Structure 1
Amino acid sequence: MSEELPTIELRHVLAGTSRPFTRPGSFTGIDKVPLPGPVEVGTLGIMGDEQGDRRIHGGPDKAIHHYPFEHYHAWKRLIGEHPRLAQPGAFGENLSTVGVDETQVCLGDIFRCGSVLLEVSQTRQPCWKLNDRFEVSDMAWRMQASAMTGWYYRVLESGVLQAGDPIVLQDRPIPRWPLRKVIALLYERSLDFDELSQFAQLPLVPSWRALVERRLATGQIENWARRVLGPPSGE
């Protein structure tokens, strides 16, 4: 199974603590730093890693965020030599790799890294905190449009991993749904009812199932403004 993907090299394992952020009452754990040596991983992710708002970040279905380091080069072309892009962790990722991206990974893929077993649960839906972190007013929109979102894992087997460990594909139960196709359905072909109906047959996380069922029932796309722009002034 592993020959279907190139070698995936885990360059950095990162974690961060929750801190007050830019807007009144907001907190974030987006500022991740590399961790040396073996790192323990449980069902909620890397031990010691924190999220600022657990209503929308973290939890079993978003235990670990994976972001390809190759995307940093693309971002430098899009927004210039931004200081945030000088090292991994700019996007709040937990795993920084080379060798794979959203075109090669499928929803539901199962990977072994160290003694940890991981399942691809969903792609990232970028939010306004990226705008403030990069001081680029439409950074979240840009990530959404670029399809360079990275993806989340749920942890099927807890264990230990560390930088330098290979990430090896163990199983691919949904080969017809690479993440790039998922992202296109979410944001580009948003009312493709045939694809939405097919997507609804997959083992989706609850929020995605609700999204798909709502689109199929109403023929309308959900409003993304609050997610990508943040709460209105005064809230």
Structure 2
Amino acid sequence: MKVISTNIGKPTPITWNGQESTTGIFKYPVNQPITLETESVSNDNISDRKVHGGIYKACYLFSADQYPYWKEKYPNLDWDWGMFGENLTVEGLDETKLKIGSVYKLGTSLVQITQPREPCFKLGIRFDNQNILKEFIDHSFPGTYVKVLEVGHVKVGDVLELVEESENTLTTQQFYQLLFARTKDKGILEMAIKNEALPPHKRERLKRFI
């Protein structure tokens, strides 16, 4: 897995349901390394810290391998890396193999896979089409957030080097599909509840399905 773009966003004014606010989803490539801090990426905009940033969402990674699929669906957009609001566009990132809890060396930082990205209306604003929310859920390749265990810098060309594989076999895609499934698979549900790399509030919320 190789970093092919580092992306940063500035506050962008938006209007949604008659209310004005800002968003950091409009991220674009930068020509320098980015710094992964414990709760965010340095110099990156986070407009709503209730749902973005924090220990379990310090940095967002999205797979470059998924771009052709979305470009075909939305050919008229002005395409560039960072379209999904990701800080790092990563070649070879595969949510079917990426285990929640695994630890990777990434540049000079150390990160742990925590949780997939759950889309909100701001992704629809970036794509100028709210239909992408359902499409993004159905496609099941949501990218992943990471927890920063050691603060460091990441540049284009850096690779994710596996340091410690999670003993819990729950993958990013399995957990993502579990979140949106009307009928929860009991085996995957139990893996998620036991996976300490996931945010405690998410694990607690899933217990009601047992």
TM-score for the superposition, normalised by structure 1: 0.82
* Separation in 1, partners of 2:38, 2:187: 34
Structure 1 runs, 4 residues or longer, greater than 4 Å off: none
Residue correspondence of structure 1 range 174-193 to structure 2 within 5 A: 174-188=167-181, 190-193=183-186
1:122 equivalent in structure 2: 115
Bigger radius of gyration among the two: 1
* Separation in 1, partners of 2:138, 2:56: 23
* Separation in 1, partners of 2:141, 2:188: 21
Shift, 1:178, TM fit: 1.5
Could you tell me whether the CA contact under 8 Å between 2:106 and 2:154 is conserved in 1? yes
1:27 equivalent in structure 2: 22
> Unaligned 5+ residue runs, structure 2?
none
Residue correspondence of structure 1 range 143-154 to structure 2 within 5 A: 143-154=136-147
* Separation in 2, partners of 1:47, 1:38: 10
* Separation in 2, partners of 1:169, 1:150: 17
* Separation in 2, partners of 1:128, 1:38: 29
* Separation in 1, partners of 2:130, 2:192: 32
**Residues 143-192 of structure 1, C-alpha deviation per residue, up to 9 Å, x if partnerless?**
11111211100100001121111221111123521212112222236422
Matching of residue 155 in structure 1 with residue 148 in structure 2: yes
> Unaligned 5+ residue runs, structure 1?
1-7, 217-235
Among 76, 80, 84, the alignment partner of 1:87 is 80
Could you tell me whether the CA contact under 8 Å between 2:35 and 2:154 is conserved in 1? yes
Alignment partner of 1:40: what SS? strand
Could you tell me whether the CA contact under 8 Å between 1:22 and 1:132 is conserved in 2? no
Aligned CA distance change for structure 1 residues 113 and 197 (closer, same or farther; 3 Å): closer
Aligned CA distance change for structure 1 residues 26 and 207 (closer, same or farther; 3 Å): farther
1:103 equivalent in structure 2: 96
Matching of residue 61 in structure 1 with residue 56 in structure 2: yes
Aligned CA distance change for structure 1 residues 135 and 37 (closer, same or farther; 3 Å): closer
Opposite residue 16 of structure 1, the aligned amino acid is G
* Separation in 2, partners of 1:190, 1:87: 37
1:206 equivalent in structure 2: 200
- Aligned residues, how many? 207
Matching of residue 47 in structure 1 with residue 42 in structure 2: yes
**Residues 176-220 of structure 1, C-alpha deviation per residue, up to 9 Å, x if partnerless?**
21212112222236422343233211112023113202333xxxx
Opposite residue 208 of structure 1, the aligned amino acid is K
1:13 equivalent in structure 2: 6
Aligned CA distance change for structure 1 residues 174 and 189 (closer, same or farther; 3 Å): farther
* Separation in 2, partners of 1:208, 1:106: 17
Over the residues paired in the alignment, what is the CA RMSD in angstroms? 1.7
TM-score for the superposition, normalised by structure 2: 0.91
Bigger fraction of residues in strand: 2
